[in-house]
Structure 1
Amino acid sequence: MKKKKLKKQYKYGLVGRNIDYSFSKNYFTEKFSLFHFDNCEYLNFDLEKIEDFINVVKKTKGLKGLNVTIPYKEAIIPYLDKVSKNAIKIGAVNTITISKKGKLKGYNTDCFGFKKALKPLLKENHKKALILGTGGASKAVAFALRKLKIEYDFVSRNPSEFEYSYEELNADIFKEYQIIINTTPLGTFPNINECPSLDYSLFTKKHIAFDLVYNPEETTFLRKASENKAVIKNGYEMLVFQAEKAWLIWNK
């Protein structure tokens, strides 16, 4: 009798800190189950510090691809052998491929996911955006807005001379910027009462409030914007789009 050839086992995973809540693990575990990819497994690599990343790569047999989340999307870049052109321009990586020779290449699929999720909401008046936060995710959002030919500015708790502070956001600014995007983790479960510190009465029905947070489904940021008639959207669809893009990159 011919010996049955065993399928090669592949591992994928998420690199981040405090990632028990992770979208990616649930999403890919369900995907593998649904499509009977019984030789694939998705793991969480919860790292206290980015230096521990080397051990993940060295000690995880069959590792084929990784996602990267807060707070390591920028810090991970020096550990990679190559970085895609877009990820270099963005300055943040959320997807990594591992070659047979163990070479690591970084990509950014957040920009693709955000652009695809925002596009259906856009109307004639949506010419300018405010990006709340200046971390790795904000860079992918800025890149996507450039592709959509939408002007943008950043809002920060510690603004540089080129950024707005939250205290500066007034009626005139809200009239000019009609897309407000939260890229901070404020409001993420379990801290669901937190939200960016701004005057929510400035939102109108002409505004889009987009929150990269997806858990809870309606964050305090979205609820308060919605109470003032803004069009709202959370980060779930963006995450699905970026995850599927990552899957294509891992398997091309």
Structure 2
Amino acid sequence: MEIKGSTNVVALIGHPVEHSFSPPMHNAAFEALKMDYVYTAFDVNPNDLGNAIKGADALNIKGFNVTIPHKIEVMQYLDEIDEIAALIGAVNTVDFKNLKGYNTDGIGAIKAIGDVTRIKDKNVVIAGAGGASRAISFYLAKYGVNSLKILNRNVEKAQNLAGDVSDSGLIDGVEADSIKNMDLSDANILINTTPVGMHPNVNDTPIASTEMMHEDLTVFDAVYNPNETGLLKEAIKAGAKPVYGIKMLLYQGAESFEIWTGKKAPVDVMEDALTRTLGL
């Protein structure tokens, strides 16, 4: 990749950012399409976020991905917020053409699951009530699931999220309960948005008994390190369909790419770069 005076810059901002797999994924895409773009990462202290946005706009940077801890605070520095991002209350993509914020996490999960099964009219159980769960829940409602149950160790947090999704008008009634009361007998899709099972605790699972999983279940784990989590291993044993977290990372990145460039993302190229970076 040749960096020139004409090269367009897009980047990830967060604190920290050294762990990110996004630069190799996006740079592989730019190289494949012979686009004069480069993707890098900036570690931005929370106290400097406003200056970072103003500076990037002044420097004609084309776009940002936004990660922890800036996804909520960045919204106050933008001119426009996409409708779903506003409902979610967090932004992970900024397009500097119109200083507009988007959230591609939810659509990334929807597309990952959509590779394996359709989502419309399905009964979905989602474990966790944090930022990832919030983003995914609103998109699930938008894409017409039949029912949605949100489970969390802190039941009040699950209830608050369920109330927000119900109030959006995208779906009638969302249930909330303790994660220890998980019942998958009528579920078609199980989604884990908790960090349970993440490296180094690779054998942990967010459910009390994997015996409750069944062959008609699709299991998506947002954790992508390791690629095959303890939950997905148990899902495979039960005959359920696994959906790997790397797919969400891939599709949310592809969606950001298309927002910035207006071009269709070379998903195969991006996936190959991701799998090589992760050593899969």
After TM superposition, the score normalised by the length of structure 1 is 0.82
- 1:42–1:152 Cα change, 3 Å: same
Residue 190 of structure 1, CA deviation: 4.7
Q: Which amino acid aligns with 1:158?
A: N
Cα displacement string for residues 189-223 of structure 1 (whole angstroms, at most 9, x for unaligned residues):
45534442532221111211101222322112211
Unpaired runs of 5+ residues, structure 1, are 1-5
> Which whole-Å CA distance do the structure 1 matches of 2:196 and 2:15 have between them?
15
Counting only pairs closer than 5 Å after superposition, residues 119-138 of structure 1 correspond to structure 2 as 119-122=114-117, 127-138=122-133
Q: Secondary structure at the match of 1:14?
A: strand
- Equivalent residue number for residue 74 of structure 1: 72
Cα displacement string for residues 87-146 of structure 1 (whole angstroms, at most 9, x for unaligned residues):
1123222211113xxx63101222322222222433699721111122222122112211
Unpaired runs of 5+ residues, structure 2, are 160-175, 263-280
Q: Which amino acid aligns with 2:256?
A: A
- Equivalent residue number for residue 23 of structure 1: 21
> Which whole-Å CA distance do the structure 2 matches of 1:63 and 1:124 have between them?
36
> Which whole-Å CA distance do the structure 2 matches of 1:229 and 1:164 have between them?
26
Matched, 1:94 2:92: yes
Residue 247 of structure 1, CA deviation: 1.5
Q: Secondary structure at the match of 1:174?
A: coil
Q: Secondary structure at the match of 1:76?
A: helix
Higher relative contact order (CA 8 A, sep 6+): 2
Matched, 1:40 2:40: no
Matched, 1:177 2:160: no
Task: Decide which moves more: 192-201 or 83-92.
Answer: 192-201
> Which whole-Å CA distance do the structure 2 matches of 1:126 and 1:207 have between them?
14
- Equivalent residue number for residue 217 of structure 1: 227
Matched, 1:112 2:122: no
Give 2:247's match in structure 1, choosing from 234, 237, 245: 237
Q: Secondary structure at the match of 2:63?
A: strand
More helix by share: 2
8 Å CA contact 1:14–1:44 kept in 2: the answer is yes
Cα displacement string for residues 142-170 of structure 1 (whole angstroms, at most 9, x for unaligned residues):
1221133212121112111732212222x
> Which whole-Å CA distance do the structure 2 matches of 1:124 and 1:247 have between them?
24
- 1:248–1:16 Cα change, 3 Å: same
> Which whole-Å CA distance do the structure 1 matches of 2:69 and 2:230 have between them?
22
Q: Which amino acid aligns with 2:22?
A: S
- 1:166–1:40 Cα change, 3 Å: same
Q: Secondary structure at the match of 2:155?
A: coil
> Which whole-Å CA distance do the structure 1 matches of 2:189 and 2:199 have between them?
24
CA RMSD of aligned residues (A): 2.6
> Which whole-Å CA distance do the structure 2 matches of 1:64 and 1:125 have between them?
35
8 Å CA contact 1:29–1:42 kept in 2: the answer is yes
> Which whole-Å CA distance do the structure 1 matches of 2:241 and 2:257 have between them?
30
- 1:126–1:71 Cα change, 3 Å: farther
- Equivalent residue number for residue 3 of structure 1: none
- 1:132–1:246 Cα change, 3 Å: same
> Which whole-Å CA distance do the structure 2 matches of 1:85 and 1:126 have between them?
23
Residue 44 of structure 1, CA deviation: 1.8
Cα displacement string for residues 68-97 of structure 1 (whole angstroms, at most 9, x for unaligned residues):
234443343223221011211232222111
Cα displacement string for residues 225-248 of structure 1 (whole angstroms, at most 9, x for unaligned residues):
222222111122233222222122
